[in-house]
Amino acid sequence: MYYTNKDTNYQNNKNYLKSTKMKTSSLAHILTGKGSELFVCDDQPYITHNRMTVDLLDAPEKIKSALVRFIKADPEREKAYVSMAGDDVNAQMSQCVKCMFANLDGVPDIDENGMINNTEFVPCEKRGGGCKFEGIACNKLSMSGNEISKSEMRVLEVCQLEEKEIAEKLCLSPATVKRHSQNIRIKTGIPSGKKLALWASSMGVINLDQLCF
């Protein structure tokens, strides 16, 4: 399994599906523009399209064709998905959504012309060396050419907390947390803790509901 749904943003996706009664709900209030949004809930890929939520495999052919083109546009990416999901095209599309489009963030991933115009940073427990396809099958989280390390990512995932709380939660020394926090702020260019937490939420790293400012 190359994807885990234990992260809080996937729980948000699940709660959203429950609150909107799945396939019969209008999603006009979720999308920020025309187009379609891909996302994942309980390891199952879905798409919002034409004010409906449907399973990926039930999506219009235009949507599925866009995903296939996206996969095949980069030979290394295509090899990664074949290795992860096998030769079945539907399985490759599903894996692609899990790695590149899993967040339900309100931003259309595919425009009204069937062109992919948005990929996402998707949290995954295999980041930081656990998956040989990181940065190929998925996006790396990096700013100004500086990749955020696995240790820094652990701190970023709870950056809405005070540094003392982070140290206790992650069983790290306060000095280590302070160093990681400083590195994260340098790499992202975001000096404020509150703004950093909001940015991390926008990237799908933490749950917006966890922010209590």
Q: What do you get for the CA distance between the two ends of the chain, in Å?
A: 36
Q: pLDDT tens for residues 40-49?
A: 988 999 998 8
The arrangement of strands across the sheet holding 52-55 comes to 37-41, 44-49, 52-55
Going from N- to C-terminal start, the domains of the chain cover 1-140, 142-207
How confident is the model over 115-158, as pLDDT tens digits? 888 888 887 878 767 889 988 999 877 655 567 888 888 898 89
Helix (H, G, I), strand (E, B) or coil at 84: helix
Q: How far apart (Å, rounded) are the C-alpha atoms in residues 182 and 16?
A: 34
> CA dihedral in degrees (162, 134, 209, 186; nearest 10)?
40
Q: The domain 142-207: what is its CATH number?
A: 1.10.10.10
Q: Is the pTM of this model over 0.75?
A: no
